[in-house]
Amino acid sequence: RGCALMQLQGWMGVAPWTVAEVREATKPDPPLPGGLQADHTPFSLPHTSGYQPALTSSPPQPGRPHTGNAAHPGVTSAGSKLLPPLAFNHTIGHIILSEHKDVKFNCSINIPNMYQDIAVISWWKDGKELLGAHHAITQFYPDDEVTAIIASFSITSVQRSDNGSYICKMKINNEEIVSDPIYIEVQGLPHFTRQPESMNVTRNTAFNLTCQAVGPPEPVNIFWVQNSSRVNEQPEKSPSVLTVPGLTETAVFSCEAHNDKGLTVSKGVQINIKAIPSPPTEVRVCNSTAHSVLISWVPGFDGYSPFRNCSVQVKEVDPLSNGSVMVFNTSASPHLYQIKQLQALANYSIGVSCMNEIGWSAMSPWILASTTEGAPSIAPSNVTVFLNESSHKVDVRWIKPPIKRQDGELLGYRISHMWQSADTSKELSEEVGQNGSRAQISVQVHNATCTVRIAAITRGGVGPFSDPVKMFIPAHGWVDFAPSSTPAPGNTDPVLIILGCFCGFVLIGSILYISLIIRKRIQETKFGTLTTLIYTLSVFTVRSLGVSEELQNKLEDVVIDRNLLILGKILGEGEFGSVMEGNLKQQDGTSQKVAVKTMKLDNFSQREIEEFLSEAACMKDFNHPNVIGLLGVCIEMSSQGIPKPMVILPFMKYGDLHTYLLYSRLETGPKHIPLQTLLKFMVDIAQGMEYLSNRNFLHRDLAARNCMLRDDMTVCVADFGLSKKIYSGDYYRQGRIAKMPVKWIAIESLADRVYTSKSDVVRAEL
């Protein structure tokens, strides 16, 4: 009879029992379903883990309409009997409890034994099945006609994250049965979602502070506190914005969030008043030359406002000087400056001052700096050269140049002499002491032209050379000649010498002409062979990069001939590679300015080449104004004869967004960027990331440094070295340990190495 009553209640949808337990007090065990006796022994299927909570609302009254999904009648295996509909029994609908309490609730169902396929009950929260880290127990109470199933779920020390709607599900005969939802509401002290932040403000200038907190329970009221005193007597509903008309001294602000459970106090933040910076300290001389001095300094306190630039003031310490001060402006960082255009062997006083948006600091303590000796500024004059046949040497004579005080003490002279003949050319130099104004040079080559130059030497270096003086040295037996080409006394036939010089020049010209023709032929042959070799190597390296066949197929149609690419200066360098400026020749004969990304190391591994080219393949199919695209891939031979890939990208005139924003604030002349422009930057990034997300790409390294600026100030998302394409599902789990930019990474990605499009959203917000 009891079993029949139980079956009847199950068919009519009446709940014979419900259980909801709050672990603030001990509760008796729930009554057994239907006519089951107290000594009836159930068997259970526990689901272990560690989740558990506490406070319940009253169970529903009998007769409440049932809202769960029921299984419709079906036909038994024999086809002779309809199965009755099934539904979960009514249970408690709403549980309200405080944080850190324990709670236990359940759902139950009565299954007539005519159903052959009985499945286990599963718990779901907010549309997602609860697996693993929860504590659930399923108990079965079999009878002759009905099997009662009770699924209990417990949570220990509930948190706000446990808020939500919980339901039971089970399948019988391919029909899914869903219970009424049980709503868990965890109440506690207010939780801050936004707290006031420290600020540096201008004196007597208004500013705003924001404080926001949430329950449950709601509402949450906000009180503001300044220097331990309440600002507002009447509370404001969260969120609250405090407008401070202005301050004249530093103050500490905080906010209090109140609800029915109590209050929570935010962190205290200090509001600083911007002031004139302190003067630089520790100004010192790092290096001195004859005409420059390199100084360094330690910046003083910035007055809660970043330094904009610095001024170096220099004045000469000399009673005879006019006392004028030279001023040199420089950037605030680095704290180094090389003062140029100074006099040699002079003393100077040097001071440094820096400024922020409020004004200039006081001048640093003045230091004394001295320049070293300089090199002579005037060359020796009246240089004469003639051949002394008796000593078989060339006599050189000159007049000593005037040496100024700042040029230092004269140490000697350097004589440079060059010997040129039809088959010989040599250049020699030698130094002589400062005493006297003449020297002798041994004849090096006969029947040749000797060219002589002289320069003075001091400790500061070698001065300028004199104008060259040329003299022809005849063969043995010929008389000597003066540099003025005037024949020496006793010369009987100067026509022969002139004729010999003419023949010599003709011979030298013929030799040079023939050598140029031969050299040109050799170069044409050499470079022709080299061009063929480069083409052969280019084809060879494309086939032998050693990357996967799939990657080769992706890049096959974007490989560009190396001869079409001309590399320029380096635009930037990283740990493993660099970006260079380049020009790419087009089919119509024009050239396009491009950026070329290369691998920096010559000993790179095969895996690094694979990752480098995978990034290029990733960009190949991108076609969006806010996502950087691929122009091509080029192969170059490294110094070790190994093919090295290069990725060709569009040239971005203004570089990366991070550097652009930084320089706009820190350069000597700060550049104001309108708010509309900043908003446009954000919209461009969002559109680019939306495009990537729609194509199932995860960027995983979104940052201002990885966003580039086109000529028209359009932002393009770039640097896909860490990007991943999702082929199934909506997330990517990182398997192996790898270097990741931890500073901006999402918390869930840092904990579980799981990345979704929401992870990129977190990076964009940061």
Say how far apart CA 131 and CA 129 lie, in whole Å.
Answer: 6
- Are 152 and 11 members of one domain? yes
Say how far apart CA 189 and CA 665 lie, in whole Å.
Answer: 42
Tell me the mean pLDDT in the region 596-605: 73
Instruction: Establish if 586 belongs to a structural domain.
Output: yes
User: What Rg do the C-alpha atoms of the chain give, in angstroms?
Assistant: 45
- Are 91 and 62 members of one domain? yes
Virtual torsion, Cα 315, 320, 324, 330, nearest 10 deg: -30
Instruction: Establish if 542 belongs to a structural domain.
Output: no
Say how far apart CA 476 and CA 485 lie, in whole Å.
Answer: 18
- Are 77 and 36 members of one domain? yes
pLDDT > 80? residue 648: yes
Lowest mean pLDDT among 162-171, 361-370, 407-416: 407-416
Give the domain CATH number at 708. 1.10.510.10
Provide the 8-state DSSP code for 476: T
User: What does the pLDDT read at residue 698?
Assistant: 78
User: Among the three residues 593, 615, 650, which one is the final residue of a domain in this structure?
Assistant: 650
Tell me the mean pLDDT in the region 735-741: 52
- Are 72 and 195 members of one domain? no
Say how far apart CA 309 and CA 357 lie, in whole Å.
Answer: 10
Provide the 8-state DSSP code for 374: P
719 is in an annotated binding site: yes
Instruction: Establish if 502 belongs to a structural domain.
Output: no
Structure tokens at 93: 């609908």
Instruction: Establish if 508 belongs to a structural domain.
Output: no
- Are 88 and 169 members of one domain? yes
Q: Which domain holds residue 636?
A: 549-650
Which whole-number Å values give the CA distances from 527 to 289, 521, 524, 534, in the listed order? 46, 10, 5, 10
User: Among the three residues 313, 337, 370, which one is the final residue of a domain in this structure?
Assistant: 370
Which whole-number Å values give the CA distances from 348 to 280, 284, 320, 366, in the listed order? 18, 13, 13, 10
Q: For residue 449, what are the β-bridge partners?
A: 420, 472
User: Among the three residues 187, 217, 243, which one is the final residue of a domain in this structure?
Assistant: 187
One-letter-per-residue 3-state SS of 87-131: CCCCCCCEEEEECCCCEEEEEEEEEECCCCCCCCCEEEECCEECC
Taking only the tens place, the pLDDT of each residue in 259-298 is 998 999 999 999 999 999 999 999 999 999 988 999 999 9
Please, which residues have CB within 8 angstroms of residue 668's CB and are 6 or more apart in sequence? Answer: 308, 309, 329, 330, 331
Taking only the tens place, the pLDDT of each residue in 117-126 is 677 889 999 9
User: What does the pLDDT read at residue 329?
Assistant: 95
Is 359 strand, coil or helix?
coil
- Are 175 and 214 members of one domain? no
Taking only the tens place, the pLDDT of each residue in 67-119 is 455 555 444 444 445 666 889 999 889 999 988 899 999 999 998 888 766 77
- Are 300 and 266 members of one domain? no
User: What does the pLDDT read at residue 434?
Assistant: 76
Mean pLDDT of all residues belonging to the chain:
78
User: What does the pLDDT read at residue 557?
Assistant: 82
DSSP readout, 450-475? EEEEEEEEETTEE-PPPPPEEEEE--
Tell me the mean pLDDT in the region 41-54: 40
Give the domain CATH number at 296. 2.60.40.10
Q: Mutual orientation of helices 757-765 and 675-694 as an angle, nearest 10°?
A: 170
- Are 147 and 291 members of one domain? no
Instruction: Establish if 616 belongs to a structural domain.
Output: yes
The structural domain count of the chain equals: 6
Lowest mean pLDDT among 123-127, 401-405, 482-486, 606-610: 482-486
User: What does the pLDDT read at residue 239?
Assistant: 95
Share of the chain above pLDDT 70, in %: 73
Virtual torsion, Cα 592, 594, 598, 600, nearest 10 deg: 120
CB atoms within 10 A of CB 576: 13
- Are 682 and 759 members of one domain? yes
User: What does the pLDDT read at residue 758?
Assistant: 58
Taking only the tens place, the pLDDT of each residue in 715-730 is 998 887 666 655 444 4
- Are 302 and 263 members of one domain? no
* Residue 48 binned pLDDT confidence (cut-offs 50, 70, 90): very low
- Sequence-ordered strand ranges (E) for 113-239: 122-125, 128-129, 135-142, 146-155, 164-172, 175-178, 182-187, 191-194, 199-201, 207-214, 221-226, 229-230, 236-237
Tell me the mean pLDDT in the region 611-634: 86
Catalytic residues: 701
Structure tokens at 35: 């006519």
Instruction: Establish if 496 belongs to a structural domain.
Output: no
The phi and psi torsions of 606 (rounded to 5 degrees) equal -65, -35
pLDDT > 70? residue 409: yes
User: What does the pLDDT read at residue 143?
Assistant: 86
Encoded amino acid at 272, one letter? N
User: What does the pLDDT read at residue 501?
Assistant: 80
- Are 128 and 205 members of one domain? no
Say how far apart CA 228 and CA 226 lie, in whole Å.
Answer: 5
Give the domain CATH number at 593. 3.30.200.20
Lowest mean pLDDT among 17-26, 91-100, 151-160, 425-434: 17-26
Instruction: Establish if 173 belongs to a structural domain.
Output: yes
Tell me the mean pLDDT in the region 460-480: 79
Instruction: Establish if 494 belongs to a structural domain.
Output: no
